[in-house]
């Protein structure tokens, strides 16, 4: 296909040129901030390894897998030992995971994550021995080794007292993984854009913005989460299609798109947190939300025996008073609202607490007066 200079010139046009054709967005975001561009099938890798150098916080004798693994390692180094006689508290079995992409090249380094597999108490101060990381079909792509960083510590006292400011049974080996085998295969004929939050409206806006920047139809919204770009239309018969692809992606990821999202109210009842999106609205309703307060007071009083008593004695006893106070349970009319700001003002006028708001939103949903999805986390 003939290289389309007009389309490429449009893609190389700056943000000022795009602003002449695109309407000013209300809440615009860069495409690179709301999506993954040029998704190329990353690989998840996993492997089994050993962490050594632990100060007595490794796996116990009960963990047979650690003893067998260490015995195999020593045997591979020419040291024959009965693994049943090994007493290892400075080693721990771990699972090692990592992720590589199509653009990682042989010899590049990546971070790997390690997590305890046995009954170790901490991986602090340990070193990961050489571990092969492979795909589920057994193809090794990365070898990992190096000191483990857990970012915290754990202290235990003799009386079971414990201080642990961070979780110490998992950590990372920064730059500990070396890529030994690259992902093979030519670059795909389509550039894929994957939205972080799937939405049909946003996906179509992304396609429209790219086409407007390119000057022709090169992008198509496939579904609510995916937009594809025909790479052949962009690079054509260019002598250096790879460089053109990078230049095109450089311009695409800077495009600003107005993000749309469904009306949603997210509630966390454990913490009393409530978050409402900008499109949330309610119909005209009447709300009565009264509080019933129960107050319990406990006082220490002195009880003395009767006068001239021979068996009585002075004692301190506890006196309890219980009071019940009904709150304001009046009926309040709340007008229909079309914005989250109006909704906040209407509900704040009732003088309710965040936990009261959660109960009110749940009741509004049941009454069919809430124009939003109610999600409890």
Closest by Cα among 360, 245, 199, 173 to 8: 245
Nearest CA among 118, 127, 122 for reference residue 56: 122
pLDDT of residue 375: 84
Give the pLDDT confidence score for residue 66 in this predicted structure: 86
Six-digit token string for 279 = 């499109």
What are the tokens at 265?
């109210």
Say if residues 130 and 51 touch (Cβ distance below 8 Å): no
- Pick the closest to residue 167 from 108, 121, 98 (CA basis): 121
Return the biggest CA–CA distance within the chain. 118
Closest residue by Cα to residue 364 from 261, 260, 267: 267
Rounded to 10 degrees, the C-alpha dihedral 62/64/66/67 comes to 100
pLDDT at residue 109, rounded to an integer: 93
d(CA 147, CA 257): 43
DSSP string, 189-210: SEEEEEESS--HHHHHHHHHHH
Report the alpha-carbon distance of residue 221 to residue 204 in Å, rounded: 6
- 9-55: pLDDT as tens digits: 343 333 233 333 333 344 688 888 888 887 666 789 999 999 999 98
Residues 257-283: b if buried by 16+ CB within 10 A, e if exposed: bbbbeeeebebeeeeeebebeeebbbe
* DSSP class of 284: S
**Per-residue model confidence (pLDDT) at position 94:** 95
pLDDT in tens, the chain (377 residues): 333 333 333 433 332 333 333 333 446 888 888 888 876 667 899 999 999 999 888 888 888 888 888 888 888 888 887 767 777 788 999 999 999 877 788 899 999 999 999 889 889 889 999 999 998 888 999 999 999 998 755 555 544 555 555 678 899 999 999 999 887 665 666 788 889 888 899 999 999 988 888 777 788 899 988 998 887 666 555 566 666 777 778 888 888 888 887 888 888 877 778 788 777 877 777 776 665 454 545 566 677 776 666 666 777 766 656 554 555 555 566 666 656 666 667 667 666 777 777 787 888 788 888 888 888 88
Asked if residues 298 and 319 have their Cβ atoms less than 8 Å apart, the reply is: yes
Residue 279 pLDDT: 77
User: Strands 170-179 and 28-30, how do they pair?
Assistant: unpaired
Q: What is the pTM of this model?
A: 0.57
- Chain-centre distance for alpha carbon 207: 27
Provide the token pair at 127: 């070193």
CA distance 100 to 109: 10
* 194-212 per-position pLDDT tens digit: 898 888 999 999 999 888 8
Dihedral sign for Cα 79, 83, 87, 90, please. Answer: positive
């Amino acid at each position: 296909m003939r290289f389309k200079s007009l389309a490429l010139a449009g893609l190389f046009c700056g943000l000022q040129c795009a602003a002449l054709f695109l309407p000013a967005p209300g809440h615009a975001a860069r495409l690179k901030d709301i999506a993954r561009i040029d998704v190329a099938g990353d690989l998840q890798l996993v492997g089994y390894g050993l962490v050594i150098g632990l100060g007595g916080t490794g796996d116990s004798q009960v963990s047979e897998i650690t003893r067998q693994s260490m015995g195999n390692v020593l045997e591979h180094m020419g040291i024959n030992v009965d693994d049943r006689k090994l007493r290892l508290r400075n080693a721990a079995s771990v699972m090692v995971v990592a992720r590589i992409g199509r653009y990682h090249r042989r010899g590049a380094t990546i971070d790997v994550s390690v997590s305890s597999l046995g009954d170790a108490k901490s991986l602090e101060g340990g070193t990961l021995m050489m571990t092969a990381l492979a795909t589920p079909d057994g193809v090794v792509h990365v070898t990992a080794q190096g000191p483990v960083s857990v970012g915290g510590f754990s202290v235990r006292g003799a009386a079971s007292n414990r201080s642990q400011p961070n979780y110490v049974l998992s950590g990372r080996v920064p730059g500990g993984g070396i890529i030994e085998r690259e992902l093979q295969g030519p670059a795909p004929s389509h550039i894929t854009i994957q939205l972080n939050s799937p939405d049909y409206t946003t996906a179509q806006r992304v396609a429209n913005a790219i086409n407007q920047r390119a000057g022709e139809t090169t992008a198509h919204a496939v579904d609510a989460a995916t937009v594809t770009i025909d790479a052949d239309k962009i690079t054509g018969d260019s002598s250096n299609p790879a460089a053109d692809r990078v230049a095109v992606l450089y311009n695409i990821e800077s495009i600003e798109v107005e993000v749309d999202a469904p009306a949603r109210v997210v509630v966390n009842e454990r913490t009393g947190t409530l978050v409402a999106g900008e499109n949330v609205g309610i119909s005209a309703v009447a709300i009565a939300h009264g509080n019933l307060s129960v107050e319990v007071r406990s006082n220490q009083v002195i009880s003395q025996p009767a006068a001239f008593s021979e068996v009585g004695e002075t004692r301190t006893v506890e006196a309890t008073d219980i009071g019940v106070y009904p709150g304001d349970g009046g009926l309040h009319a709340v007008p229909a609202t079309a914005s989250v700001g109006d909704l906040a003002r209407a509900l704040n006028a009732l003088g309710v607490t965040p936990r009261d708001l959660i109960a009110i939103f749940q009741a509004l949903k049941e009454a069919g007066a809430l124009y939003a999805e109610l999600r409890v986390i």
